[in-house]
Amino acid sequence: MTLLNGSVRGLEFDFVPAGVEAAAQGGMVGPAGTQTEEKDHGPFRLDVSRTVQAVAVLLDSDPGKRMSSLRLSQLLYIADRECLAGTGRPITGDRIMALDFGPVLADVYRLLQSDRWEQPTWVEFFRKVGYQIERVKDPGVEALSEFAIRTLRDIADRYQRHGELDLVRLTQRLPEWQWNDPVRHGQLERPIPIEDVLVAVGRAKDIPWIMEAALADATLDQVLGR
Protein backbone atom coordinates (compact mmCIF):
# COMPACT_ATOMS: atom_id res chain seq x y z
CA MET A 1 0.00 0.00 0.00
CA THR A 2 1.34 3.41 -0.94
CA LEU A 3 1.95 5.70 2.02
CA LEU A 4 2.23 9.42 1.34
CA ASN A 5 2.19 12.53 3.55
CA GLY A 6 -0.36 13.28 6.30
CA SER A 7 -1.70 10.64 8.68
CA VAL A 8 -5.24 9.38 8.08
CA ARG A 9 -6.22 6.64 10.54
CA GLY A 10 -2.86 4.94 10.18
CA LEU A 11 -2.59 5.72 6.47
CA GLU A 12 -0.93 8.73 4.87
CA PHE A 13 -1.98 10.99 2.04
CA ASP A 14 -0.57 13.85 0.02
CA PHE A 15 -3.90 15.66 -0.09
CA VAL A 16 -6.75 16.09 2.39
CA PRO A 17 -10.08 17.30 0.97
CA ALA A 18 -11.74 20.45 2.28
CA GLY A 19 -13.28 20.16 5.72
CA VAL A 20 -11.43 17.09 6.97
CA GLU A 21 -9.66 18.97 9.72
CA ALA A 22 -12.94 20.54 10.83
CA ALA A 23 -14.54 17.13 11.18
CA ALA A 24 -11.64 15.87 13.26
CA GLN A 25 -11.90 18.84 15.61
CA GLY A 26 -15.65 19.36 15.73
CA GLY A 27 -18.71 17.43 16.85
CA MET A 28 -20.46 14.58 15.10
CA VAL A 29 -23.91 16.11 14.50
CA GLY A 30 -24.32 17.43 10.99
CA PRO A 31 -25.64 20.87 10.08
CA ALA A 32 -28.88 19.30 8.91
CA GLY A 33 -29.48 18.04 12.45
CA THR A 34 -30.44 14.63 13.76
CA GLN A 35 -33.32 14.07 11.33
CA THR A 36 -31.09 13.58 8.30
CA GLU A 37 -32.86 10.40 7.26
CA GLU A 38 -36.12 12.35 6.87
CA LYS A 39 -34.70 15.07 4.62
CA ASP A 40 -34.74 14.78 0.85
CA HIS A 41 -31.55 15.09 -1.15
CA GLY A 42 -32.08 18.65 -2.28
CA PRO A 43 -33.10 20.12 -5.64
CA PHE A 44 -30.37 18.50 -7.74
CA ARG A 45 -31.35 15.65 -10.01
CA LEU A 46 -29.21 13.02 -11.72
CA ASP A 47 -28.03 14.16 -15.14
CA VAL A 48 -27.38 10.98 -17.14
CA SER A 49 -25.43 12.63 -19.97
CA ARG A 50 -23.03 14.43 -17.64
CA THR A 51 -22.64 11.33 -15.49
CA VAL A 52 -21.82 9.07 -18.44
CA GLN A 53 -19.25 11.54 -19.75
CA ALA A 54 -17.71 12.05 -16.29
CA VAL A 55 -17.33 8.29 -15.83
CA ALA A 56 -15.64 8.08 -19.24
CA VAL A 57 -13.17 10.86 -18.37
CA LEU A 58 -12.14 8.98 -15.23
CA LEU A 59 -11.81 5.67 -17.08
CA ASP A 60 -9.73 7.33 -19.79
CA SER A 61 -7.14 8.17 -17.11
CA ASP A 62 -6.30 4.46 -16.93
CA PRO A 63 -4.16 2.97 -19.74
CA GLY A 64 -6.64 0.12 -20.08
CA LYS A 65 -9.64 2.46 -19.79
CA ARG A 66 -10.99 0.44 -16.90
CA MET A 67 -11.08 0.46 -13.09
CA SER A 68 -12.99 -1.25 -10.31
CA SER A 69 -16.55 -0.13 -9.67
CA LEU A 70 -15.63 0.83 -6.09
CA ARG A 71 -12.67 2.98 -7.12
CA LEU A 72 -14.73 4.61 -9.86
CA SER A 73 -17.50 5.39 -7.34
CA GLN A 74 -15.01 6.92 -4.91
CA LEU A 75 -13.30 9.13 -7.48
CA LEU A 76 -16.60 10.26 -8.96
CA TYR A 77 -17.88 11.29 -5.54
CA ILE A 78 -14.73 13.30 -4.79
CA ALA A 79 -15.01 15.04 -8.18
CA ASP A 80 -18.70 15.80 -7.62
CA ARG A 81 -17.84 17.25 -4.22
CA GLU A 82 -15.06 19.45 -5.58
CA CYS A 83 -17.29 20.81 -8.35
CA LEU A 84 -19.95 21.58 -5.75
CA ALA A 85 -17.31 23.43 -3.74
CA GLY A 86 -15.97 25.31 -6.73
CA THR A 87 -19.13 26.18 -8.66
CA GLY A 88 -22.09 25.53 -6.37
CA ARG A 89 -23.22 22.70 -8.67
CA PRO A 90 -22.21 19.02 -8.73
CA ILE A 91 -21.34 17.17 -11.91
CA THR A 92 -23.85 14.33 -11.67
CA GLY A 93 -26.63 15.73 -9.48
CA ASP A 94 -27.03 12.27 -7.95
CA ARG A 95 -28.29 11.59 -4.44
CA ILE A 96 -25.54 11.14 -1.84
CA MET A 97 -25.57 8.15 0.49
CA ALA A 98 -23.35 7.26 3.42
CA LEU A 99 -22.39 3.57 3.43
CA ASP A 100 -20.10 1.91 5.93
CA PHE A 101 -17.06 2.42 3.68
CA GLY A 102 -17.74 6.08 2.92
CA PRO A 103 -19.98 8.38 0.85
CA VAL A 104 -21.19 7.41 -2.62
CA LEU A 105 -23.41 8.76 -5.35
CA ALA A 106 -26.34 6.47 -4.63
CA ASP A 107 -27.91 5.71 -8.01
CA VAL A 108 -24.59 5.58 -9.85
CA TYR A 109 -23.08 3.29 -7.22
CA ARG A 110 -25.99 0.85 -7.38
CA LEU A 111 -25.81 0.81 -11.15
CA LEU A 112 -22.07 0.14 -11.17
CA GLN A 113 -22.50 -2.66 -8.63
CA SER A 114 -25.34 -4.30 -10.53
CA ASP A 115 -24.70 -7.45 -12.55
CA ARG A 116 -27.43 -6.51 -15.02
CA TRP A 117 -27.38 -3.21 -16.87
CA GLU A 118 -30.72 -2.40 -18.44
CA GLN A 119 -29.98 1.26 -19.20
CA PRO A 120 -29.20 1.52 -22.95
CA THR A 121 -27.01 4.59 -22.42
CA TRP A 122 -24.65 2.72 -20.10
CA VAL A 123 -24.53 -0.41 -22.23
CA GLU A 124 -23.59 1.67 -25.27
CA PHE A 125 -20.48 3.16 -23.64
CA PHE A 126 -19.40 0.75 -20.90
CA ARG A 127 -19.19 -2.91 -20.07
CA LYS A 128 -18.59 -4.76 -16.84
CA VAL A 129 -15.79 -7.30 -16.63
CA GLY A 130 -15.96 -8.92 -13.21
CA TYR A 131 -15.57 -6.04 -10.74
CA GLN A 132 -14.10 -3.78 -13.40
CA ILE A 133 -15.89 -1.14 -15.48
CA GLU A 134 -14.44 -0.64 -18.96
CA ARG A 135 -15.13 2.12 -21.48
CA VAL A 136 -15.89 0.66 -24.91
CA LYS A 137 -17.07 3.80 -26.71
CA ASP A 138 -16.26 7.49 -26.25
CA PRO A 139 -19.36 9.51 -25.22
CA GLY A 140 -17.52 12.82 -25.66
CA VAL A 141 -17.44 15.66 -23.14
CA GLU A 142 -19.95 18.12 -24.63
CA ALA A 143 -22.22 18.01 -21.57
CA LEU A 144 -19.37 18.80 -19.16
CA SER A 145 -18.04 22.22 -18.27
CA GLU A 146 -14.33 22.96 -18.60
CA PHE A 147 -14.16 23.15 -14.81
CA ALA A 148 -15.71 19.70 -14.48
CA ILE A 149 -13.32 18.19 -17.03
CA ARG A 150 -10.29 19.71 -15.31
CA THR A 151 -11.55 18.54 -11.92
CA LEU A 152 -12.11 14.96 -13.09
CA ARG A 153 -8.67 14.75 -14.69
CA ASP A 154 -7.03 16.31 -11.64
CA ILE A 155 -8.78 13.84 -9.31
CA ALA A 156 -7.69 10.89 -11.45
CA ASP A 157 -4.09 12.12 -11.46
CA ARG A 158 -4.02 13.11 -7.80
CA TYR A 159 -5.17 9.71 -6.57
CA GLN A 160 -3.44 7.58 -9.20
CA ARG A 161 -1.26 5.85 -6.61
CA HIS A 162 -3.97 5.47 -3.99
CA GLY A 163 -5.54 2.06 -3.55
CA GLU A 164 -9.20 1.45 -2.79
CA LEU A 165 -8.54 1.12 0.94
CA ASP A 166 -6.63 4.41 0.91
CA LEU A 167 -9.64 6.12 -0.66
CA VAL A 168 -12.04 4.47 1.78
CA ARG A 169 -10.05 5.77 4.74
CA LEU A 170 -9.82 9.20 3.19
CA THR A 171 -13.51 9.59 2.38
CA GLN A 172 -14.43 8.30 5.83
CA ARG A 173 -12.74 11.39 7.21
CA LEU A 174 -14.93 13.77 5.24
CA PRO A 175 -17.20 15.76 7.59
CA GLU A 176 -20.41 14.94 5.74
CA TRP A 177 -19.76 11.22 6.13
CA GLN A 178 -18.77 11.46 9.79
CA TRP A 179 -21.92 13.44 10.55
CA ASN A 180 -23.99 10.73 8.85
CA ASP A 181 -21.95 7.59 9.60
CA PRO A 182 -24.60 4.86 9.17
CA VAL A 183 -23.01 2.46 11.63
CA ARG A 184 -23.06 5.07 14.37
CA HIS A 185 -26.74 5.64 13.62
CA GLY A 186 -27.53 1.92 13.59
CA GLN A 187 -28.26 1.88 9.86
CA LEU A 188 -26.89 0.12 6.80
CA GLU A 189 -27.02 3.32 4.77
CA ARG A 190 -27.99 6.91 5.45
CA PRO A 191 -28.77 9.84 3.14
CA ILE A 192 -26.34 12.74 3.25
CA PRO A 193 -28.17 16.07 2.81
CA ILE A 194 -26.61 18.35 0.24
CA GLU A 195 -26.51 21.05 2.91
CA ASP A 196 -24.07 18.94 4.92
CA VAL A 197 -21.72 18.74 1.95
CA LEU A 198 -21.95 22.47 1.30
CA VAL A 199 -21.12 23.24 4.93
CA ALA A 200 -18.23 20.76 4.85
CA VAL A 201 -16.67 22.42 1.78
CA GLY A 202 -17.02 25.93 3.20
CA ARG A 203 -20.11 27.06 1.25
CA ALA A 204 -22.54 27.40 4.19
CA LYS A 205 -23.24 31.07 3.47
CA ASP A 206 -24.07 30.24 -0.13
CA ILE A 207 -26.63 27.51 0.60
CA PRO A 208 -29.74 29.73 -0.01
CA TRP A 209 -28.72 30.91 -3.49
CA ILE A 210 -27.27 27.52 -4.48
CA MET A 211 -30.54 25.81 -3.59
CA GLU A 212 -32.57 28.55 -5.30
CA ALA A 213 -30.53 28.27 -8.50
CA ALA A 214 -30.83 24.47 -8.48
CA LEU A 215 -34.61 24.69 -8.02
CA ALA A 216 -34.82 27.14 -10.92
CA ASP A 217 -32.82 24.76 -13.12
CA ALA A 218 -35.04 21.83 -12.11
CA THR A 219 -38.17 23.83 -12.89
CA LEU A 220 -36.82 24.83 -16.30
CA ASP A 221 -35.95 21.21 -17.08
CA GLN A 222 -39.46 20.16 -16.15
CA VAL A 223 -41.03 22.85 -18.33
CA LEU A 224 -38.82 21.91 -21.29
CA GLY A 225 -39.40 18.20 -20.68
CA ARG A 226 -35.72 17.45 -20.18
* pLDDT tens column, 56-113: 999 999 999 999 999 999 999 999 999 999 999 999 999 999 999 999 999 999 999 8
Distance CA 194, CA 29 (A): 15
Domain of residue 75, residue span: 37-224
pLDDT for 114 beyond 70: yes
The mean of the pLDDT values for the chain is: 84
Q: What percent of the chain has pLDDT over 90?
A: 68
Does a structural domain hold residue 32? no
Structural domain includes residue 208? yes
Q: Which of 47, 57, 79, 110 is nearest to 197 (CA)?
A: 79
- 8 Å CB contact between 20 and 174: yes
In this prediction, residues 216-226 reach a mean pLDDT of: 69
Let me know if residue 180 belongs to a domain.
yes
Tell me if 3 is assigned to some domain: no
Cα 35 to chain centroid distance, Å, stands at: 22
**Size (the chain), residues:** 226
How many structural domains comprise the chain? Answer: 1
CA distance 87 to 73: 21
Q: How far apart are CA 84 and CA 24, in angstroms?
A: 22
Q: How far apart are CA 172 and CA 182, in angstroms?
A: 11
Structural domain includes residue 2: no
Say if 77 falls within a structural domain: yes
pLDDT band at 11 (very low <50, low <70, confident <90, very high): very low
Is residue 13 assigned to a domain? no
pLDDT of residue 33: 55
pLDDT tier for residue 16 given thresholds of 50, 70 and 90? very low
Q: Report d(CA 123, CA 210) in Å as an integer.
A: 33
Is the whole model's pTM more than 0.85, yes or no? Answer: no
